[in-house]
Structure 1
Amino acid sequence: MRARDWGVLFAMCGAIFLEGIDVAMLNVALPAIRAELGMSTGELQWVMSAYVLGYGGFMLVGGRAADLFGRRQMFVFWLAVFLLFSGLGGLASEGWMLIVARFVTGVAAAFMTPAGLSIITTSFEEGPQRNKALLIYSGTAAGGFSIGLVVGGLLTSIHWRWVFFAPVAMSLLILIAALTLVPKSRRPERTGQRIDLAGGITITAAIVLLVLGVERATHTGIGWTLGTFAAGLAFLAAFIAIERRVAAPLVRLGIFRSGAVVRANAIGVLFVGAFFGFQFLVVLYLQELRGWSTLQTSFAMIVIGLDAVLSPTLTPKLVNRFGNARVTFGGLLLAALAYALFLPVGADWTYLMMLPGLILLSLAFSLVYGPLTIVATDGIDEADQGLAGGLLYTSFQFGAALGLSTVTAVNIAATASGTPAAMLDGYHAALVVPLAAALIAGLISAFGLRPRKRPATELGDDKILATHRSPS
């Protein structure tokens, strides 16, 4: 790649790393935040839920906005908003101030993330070069989350406000890099076209309500949960009806005729849901049952961050040899194996007994996340790249909310009391959820397998084949 290409990739990787590290650091800092601001458990839940609602609810609109108003313009503007409200979160003196700041930060990430992904998919030619860029990008995203667990623990030991101030400094550096290195994108021609406001409002309302229903399922009654889901589905039906009629739809429904896109998004929901649910259970196990400190837990989990090294090194070679579909399928099987190895977890397990499962999970993440991103955007028209990225990240976010809510519900239902034996029973029951999700994702992935044609030209064992269109 040219120096300019590396510059673009560097700026976009910085942004996705920022998004991952921001979420991970906040997870670690929640107890300290509650202690200083005097927040109840319900209020503390909203610190995370507000971000999830903003991020998941506006992702599709954010992806389409990048296509309609210019990718670089959207990326730079919303990165600046992310910077501003992250800083305001660090200055919060009341719980409600922090919740509002996190919601706006989530909205900013919802516009910034698909814009960044579409900058990569439109800056690099489809094929080996784009695949390499996407695998580096996905490895950086995963590494940000893993590293954020440790960095969050270190910063929280100083003061929890540094968890918000650190992303401000990093955002500023990325903003300067984007303005310097990313070329200005041509504003798309929209003469005579109307912006699909009705579609934007209905799909945002639908996703916000559906994510809210999942997020609050374990904290509210069945009636409230069913009512929220019903309202979300009603808005979704209204959105589909609007998109079928308007001349310039927010979401071109024809994109769902691609089996590869549908499979990639379905797998994304299940795979990310399983990962977040599993991680949540392991953190509870280590801290609540075993009495490990936040920093000890962070360092124990950082081994999952090996995928940041494996994604740009090992995964391209495997994709080169076997294709995206087979690599993804293999990664899902490894994820299922990793979760299965944790099923018999005991109250006296040593870290060495946990390590094989964690290493397998890091390998699985490196084999699934990047190839899934490639499949979800491969063959999509340039005008719809922001939409494709928005769809995928909406699936990821909804999957995270669904996974966390489901394992929490199962864990609570299976824990009869607060005794160590009851807590362990709860973990055992809840660990079945990520295992089942990974197996279902593997089944869906199997439908994308088909005989692979032998490519005519190879570029070397460390590059993806130039003439190869990987099966999806």
Structure 2
Amino acid sequence: MRLKLTDKLMLMILSAGIFLSVIDIFIVNVAIPSIKKGVHGTDTHMQLVIALYLLGYAVFLLAGGKLGDVYGKKNVYVTGMVLFTIASGCCGFAQTAWQLNVARLFQGISAAFMVPQGIAYIQVLFNDPKQRTSAFGIYGSIAGTASVIGQLLGGILPDLTLIDESWRLVFLINLPIGFISAALAIKFLPQHKVIQSARFDFSGSMLLTIALTGLVLPIILGRELNWPLWSLMLLAFSVILLFVFVYIQKRKQTTGRHPLINFELFAFKDFRIGLYASVCYFLVQDTYFLINTVLMQTGFGLSSSITGMFFVVQGLGYMSASLTSVRFVALHGKNVLLTGIIIMVVSLAFHILILRTAQINLFVLIPTLFLYGAGCGTVLPSLLSVSLKNIPSEFAGAASGTYATCQQISIALGIGILGGLFYDLLGSQHTIEDFSSAYRITSLINMMLLLVVGVLVLFLPKTQQTCLCAQHSFGLPGK
């Protein structure tokens, strides 16, 4: 069923939120070396540029959805969009690495307010199932397109010679899109009825924020500071806080209060196993981009434009496979997932063989990049569908929110743990041999993590049903 012109306008306004939130992770992935030079940062600072955005997004994602019910989806969406745009400006005008990282954290937090409202609005505005399916299809395709555009712009913008410090355009490009989208949202989006009975778990949200921040920051900062006592103590304390968080959340649930996370979800075996598999998968996701970007630009001396073009090839492979993989899941179940994992592992083996020296064979590298992207595009949507397929409709929102939160936390931890390992292996000499060795070892660990995903997938049930809540889970798409 075709969408009306007014419906298309509102869908485009809502899609601006997912577009900005997605583009701002992928555009940074490619531009990291240029940003590092621009703010005179260290390797640790650059890990934080990626991880803090994801951390802010992850810890406030569940809160963002609840706040839309409490204060109105339009109010929260517009507020999130304006704050995201202001934070982008702060990133673009940052003079030091720490100014940039603080702004990146607030970017992630504002994205967590913005994105859930867009998803919820689509469910409200499009009552007809066919229209809703069409709307979510457009919304998801815009998210996928944003990831490819982000990789392209992340390569091209820092190489512009027309202005000084052109890396700042990576962030400042958000300003016109954000302010125009916020103005259109104020004018055209209808007010959504506030749910008076909705309750928000402020204490749970703050406890989770403190625990996850205390977990991620020492992992990243500890390496550069030679693991001082405070970093180890903070790690231990954050782990204890996570156990306390789980205990309190379960108590709230049994006493009839409103917890941040519904632990009844973990009674579903496929959701539980799928979540474990997702954690292992997303530990790999952005580590791949980080180590390949550093290898190609800092190690091999390639320009950011060329590196961006390479990643666009990978992104095209992802989009091609993601459009068809979910359809095959309904017919072939977890075999589709296993096929995608094998493709990714084989492709990473080719990465190691091809990227041993700066003498790159493009005729081999380009198909390898496309193949890796196709593997990602096969695994990611299928893993989501399989993990959520048996969740009852009344748990759909909670399941997709929990899944997306774990996704972002895992990516941030991957940047901290595996990215830190890469820099440790690289050492201080930074010869081609050092880069090649660090890249090989980190990639081998990524391959092992993907094999763990494959083993976990083997324990998933064979039967397939229609996923009731995949449409809810448009976060930062992984590739």
TM-score w.r.t. length of structure 1:
0.83
Structure 2 distance, partners of 1:258, 1:143, is: 33
Confirm or deny: 8 A CA contact 1:263 1:444 kept in the other structure.
Answer: yes
Residues 152-187 of structure 1: per-residue CA shift (max 9 Å, x gap):
232222422222221121223433554566554332
The equivalent position to 1:266 in structure 2, one of 271, 276, 296, is 276
Flag the 1:219–1:134 CA change in 2: closer, same or farther, 3 A: farther
> Matched residue of 2:273: which SS?
helix
Flag the 1:445–1:53 CA change in 2: closer, same or farther, 3 A: same
Structure 2 distance, partners of 1:83, 1:265, is: 32
Q: Name 2:298's counterpart in structure 1.
A: 288
Q: Name 2:155's counterpart in structure 1.
A: 153
Structure 1 range deviating more: 151-160 or 369-378: 369-378
Q: Name 1:106's counterpart in structure 2.
A: 108
TM-score w.r.t. length of structure 2:
0.82
* Structure 2 counterpart of 1:268, one-letter code: S
Confirm or deny: 8 A CA contact 1:272 1:400 kept in the other structure.
Answer: yes
Q: Name 2:220's counterpart in structure 1.
A: 215
Structure 2 distance, partners of 1:168, 1:392, is: 30
Q: Name 1:238's counterpart in structure 2.
A: 244
Query: What are the residue-to-residue correspondences of 1:398-409 with 2, within 5 Å?
Result: 398-409=409-420
Alignment of 1:253 onto 2:263: yes
Confirm or deny: 8 A CA contact 1:63 1:387 kept in the other structure.
Answer: no
Flag the 1:142–1:55 CA change in 2: closer, same or farther, 3 A: same
Residues 331-362 of structure 1: per-residue CA shift (max 9 Å, x gap):
22322222222232321331222223211222
Residues 282-301 of structure 1: per-residue CA shift (max 9 Å, x gap):
22222233221111111111
Flag the 1:142–1:46 CA change in 2: closer, same or farther, 3 A: same
Structure 2 distance, partners of 1:405, 1:177, is: 38
The equivalent position to 2:352 in structure 1, one of 340, 343, 346, is 343
Alignment size in residue pairs: 455
Q: Name 1:65's counterpart in structure 2.
A: 67
Flag the 1:315–1:41 CA change in 2: closer, same or farther, 3 A: closer
The equivalent position to 2:179 in structure 1, one of 172, 177, 181, is 172
The equivalent position to 1:434 in structure 2, one of 446, 464, 477, is 446
Structure 2 distance, partners of 1:210, 1:444, is: 25
* Structure 2 counterpart of 1:402, one-letter code: L
* Structure 1 counterpart of 2:295, one-letter code: Y
Flag the 1:383–1:164 CA change in 2: closer, same or farther, 3 A: farther
Alignment of 1:306 onto 2:316: yes
Structure 2 distance, partners of 1:8, 1:374, is: 27
Structure 1 distance, partners of 2:389, 2:125, is: 14
Alignment of 1:355 onto 2:357: no
How far apart are 1:241 and its partner, in Å? 2.4
Identity %: 25
Flag the 1:248–1:469 CA change in 2: closer, same or farther, 3 A: closer
> Matched residue of 2:94: which SS?
coil
> Matched residue of 2:173: which SS?
helix
Structure 2 distance, partners of 1:313, 1:107, is: 29
* Structure 2 counterpart of 1:105, one-letter code: Q
> Matched residue of 1:432: which SS?
helix
Structure 2 distance, partners of 1:326, 1:184, is: 44
The equivalent position to 1:26 in structure 2, one of 20, 25, 28, is 28
How far apart are 1:93 and its partner, in Å? 4.1
Flag the 1:414–1:105 CA change in 2: closer, same or farther, 3 A: closer
Q: Name 1:464's counterpart in structure 2.
A: none
Structure 2 distance, partners of 1:99, 1:471, is: 34
Structure 1 distance, partners of 2:392, 2:377, is: 26
* Structure 1 counterpart of 2:77, one-letter code: F
Confirm or deny: 8 A CA contact 1:138 1:369 kept in the other structure.
Answer: no
Flag the 1:241–1:212 CA change in 2: closer, same or farther, 3 A: same
Residues 232-253 of structure 1: per-residue CA shift (max 9 Å, x gap):
2222222222223332222222
Structure 1: state its 5+ residue gaps: 454-467
Structure 1 range deviating more: 433-442 or 29-38: 29-38
Structure 2 distance, partners of 1:412, 1:47, is: 15
Residues 365-408 of structure 1: per-residue CA shift (max 9 Å, x gap):
22233334445555656665554343222222222223223333
* Structure 1 counterpart of 2:378, one-letter code: L
